[in-house]
Chain A
Amino acid sequence: MQQNQNVMKIKKNIAISDSGFVFNPSSGESFSVNPIGMEIMELLKKEMPTQDISNHILENYETDAPTIDKDLYDFITMLKQYGLIDDNEKD
C-alpha cells in the first residue's frame, strides 16, 4: 500500500477533543470520531508513518494485519475526503 510508507499529516488547525469531537475551524464543520479513530488522528498529528500506526494497533488490539491495513486505508481516505489532511505537507 503506497500510503503506508507515507506520513499523513492532520492539518495544524484541526481541534480534537478528548471525547472524540473534531472541529475544523476553516470550514466550520465538526465531526465525531470513535476512540480508535481518535488515537490514529493523534498519532497522525505526531507525524507517525502509517506503517508504524498499523503496527501500533496490531500490538494493542485484537485484530489482524489485513483488517488494519484495509480499515486504516479507508479511514485515511475519509479524513482526506473531509479535508482534514494537509496534502501539501505530505512527504
Chain B
Amino acid sequence: MEKQRYERPVIKKLESNMPNKFGMRTEYKPMTHIDNVAVKDMIDEHGSPLFVISEKTIRNNIRNARKAFETRYPKVQFAWSYKTNYLDAVCRTFHQEGSWAEVVSGFEYDKAIHNGVDGTKIIFNGPDKTEEDLEKAIKNSSLIHIDHLDELYTIRKLAENMDTRAQVAIRVNMDTGIYPMWDRFGFNYENGQAWDALNKIMRSDVMDLVGLHTHIGTFMLSSNAYAVAANKLADLAIGIRDKYGHEIQYIDMGGGFASQNNLKGAYLPGVDTNPSINDFAEAITSALINSNFKPDKLPLLILETGRALIDDAAFLLGTVISNKRLSDGRRSTIIDIGVNVLFTSFWYDHKITPAQPFTQHTEDTVVYGPLCMNIDVIRENISLPLLNKGDHVVIHTVGAYNMTQWMQFITLRPRIVMIDLESNVHVVRDRETLDRLLEFENVPEHLKTFEL
C-alpha cells in the first residue's frame, strides 16, 4: 500500500472572540514554480537560501510605470535607482528598457559607467561626493544634484579650472504635509535656502542650472504629497524663469513610491491599501500640467523609482531547519534565511508561501532565521501552513534593498539567479566562500601560530 503524505499532527483552539495578532490564514496555494521553473530544482542546483529574480516581472513593472506616466505627460524619463539593487544584471535590464542611472556614491557612479551608461545619462545624488567624484562627473557632463553649500562651492572651484561647465541641479526638501519631513538632504524650500542656492548657481559662470530635484520620503502611502512637491518645484522653476529668463530642462521627482509590500503595523495588506503607480503618476503629472508652465515649455519629468519597480520581481527561497514549541505554547519554525540576507524583515511582514502542497490546517507561528542572535526574526506572527523539516518556502517581494543592504554575518551570502524571458536560469551573483572573504584579511606575522 502506498504511504500517505505526512503532515505533522496539530490541534488548534477555536477562538470566537477578537482576531489575534497572528491574523487569518493567507496562503491557499503552494508556490511550486517561479516563471515556470520549479523551486525545488533551483534549490537542488543552487543551494538554499537562494535569491531568484524574474526578468519578466522587472520588464513588466518598468513598462507599466512608463505607461502610467507617458500617457499622462509628454516628456518622461526613468532613472534606475542603483542603491535599490545594483546587481549588474538588474541595472542592465532597466537600461535596456530605457532607464538612465541614478547613483548616490562614487562607487555607484563607477558601476554605472562600467555598465556602459553614458555620463550625460547619470544622475549623481547624495551628500558624499568627493572632489575626485565631482571632477569625473563634471568632465562627463553628468547631472550633479547638489546636496549642500559645501558641495556647491567645491563644484564651482573645480569647474573654474576645467574646460567643461558643470551641469547641476539642486535637491530641494520641503513640507509636503507628511511625517516625517525629510529635511536632511538638499536645501529647504520654505525657509529660502533653496532660493539662496539657486541664486548662487545662476550668478556663477561655470555652472549650468539644468534641473530641480526632490525626494520627499520613502514608502510613501500618500500620493497627494507628490502633488504638493511637484507644485513647489514648479513654483521654483517659474520663479527662475521670471527672475533670470532661464528655463530649466527637467524636474526630478525622485522616488519613494510604495511597493505592494506589507509594512509592519499596517492593519490591511499592502496590496489592497498602498497607492499604485497610476495614483502617483496622476498626482505628479496633474500638478505639473496645472502649474504655470507654458504647455510647450513643460520640463522633462524624471523619476527615480526603485522599490516599486523591483520589489515584487525577486523571491527568496529557503528551507525549514526545525519546528519548535515556545514556552507559551506558540509554534516556532526556524528557516535558513536570516535577517542578514533579508534586511527588510525589520520593516515588512513578508509574505511566506510553502513551496510544496499543504492542507488547510495552520498554526500560529513565529518564524526565526538561522542566526544565533535574538534579533533574527523573519515573521513575529504568522498563521502558517504546517511545514516539516526540509520543506521549502518562498518569501515574496524581496527585490528592493536586500541585495544591496545584506551583510556577511555568521553565514555567507547566498547565490542570486535570474530567470530570463524563456525561463532559463542564470547565476547573476555567486555565493560567497570562505576563501573569498579571507582575501580581504591579513594576519600579522607574530599571530600566525599558536599552541592550545
Contact = CB atoms under 8 A, between A and B. Distances in A.
Contacts of A61: 3-6
Contact of A60 (B3, B11, B323, B361): B3
B13 A72 contact: no
Interface residues of B, number: 21
A6 interface: no
Contacts of A71: 8-9
A34 B325 contact: no
Given A60-B3, A60-B4, A61-B4, A33 B10 contact: yes
B3 A34 contact: no
A5 interface: no
B10 A67 contact: no
Contacts of A63: 6, 388
Given A67-B389, A77-B325, A78-B329, A31 B4 contact: no
A8 interface: no
B7 interface: yes
A22 interface: yes
Contact of B14 (A32, A37, A60): A32
Given A29-B13, A67-B388, A74-B325, A36 B3 contact: no
Majority secondary structure of chain A interface residues (helix, strand, loop or mixed): helix
A36 B329 CA distance: 20
B3 A37 contact: no
B386 interface: yes
B448 interface: no
A30 interface: yes
Given A67-B388, A77-B325, A62 B6 contact: yes
A36 B8 CA distance: 7
Interface in B1-46: 1, 3-14
Interface string A24-40: 00000111111111001
A31 B11 CA distance: 7
Interface centre among B9, B13, B325 (most CB of A within 10 A): B9
A71 to B, nearest CB: 4
Contacts of B10: 33-34, 37, 75, 78
A88 interface: no
Contacts, number: 72
Contacts of A67: 6, 8, 388-389
A79 B10 CA distance: 10
Contact of B5 (A22, A37, A62, A74): A62
Nearest to A38: B9
A33 B11 CA distance: 4
Interface in A45-86: 57, 59-63, 67, 71-72, 74-75, 77-79, 81-82, 84
B384 to A, nearest CB: 14
Given A67-B388, A67-B389, A34 B7 contact: yes
Contacts of B389: 67
B15 to A, nearest CB: 9
Nearest to B322: A70
Contacts of B3: 59-62
A19 to B, nearest CB: 11
B442 interface: no
Contact of B386 (A30, A34, A59): A34
A80 to B, nearest CB: 11
Nearest to A75: B9
A43 B336 CA distance: 35
Given A60-B4, A67-B388, A78-B329, A36 B9 contact: yes
A78 B325 CA distance: 10
A19 B3 CA distance: 21
B11 A82 contact: yes
Contacts of A74: 8, 323, 325
B191 interface: no
Interface string B302-331: 000000000000000000000101000100
B11 A78 contact: yes
A79 B3 CA distance: 26
A34 B359 contact: yes
B5 to A, nearest CB: 6
Nearest to A84: B11
Interface of A: 22, 29-37, 40, 57, 59-63, 67, 71-72, 74-75, 77-79, 81-82, 84
13 contacts: A32-B11, A32-B361, A33-B11, A34-B7, A34-B9, A34-B359, A36-B8, A37-B10, A37-B11, A61-B6, A63-B388, A71-B8, A81-B329
Given A31-B11, A31-B12, 12 more contacts: A31-B13, A32-B12, A33-B11, A33-B12, A35-B359, A62-B3, A63-B6, A67-B6, A71-B8, A74-B8, A78-B10, A78-B11
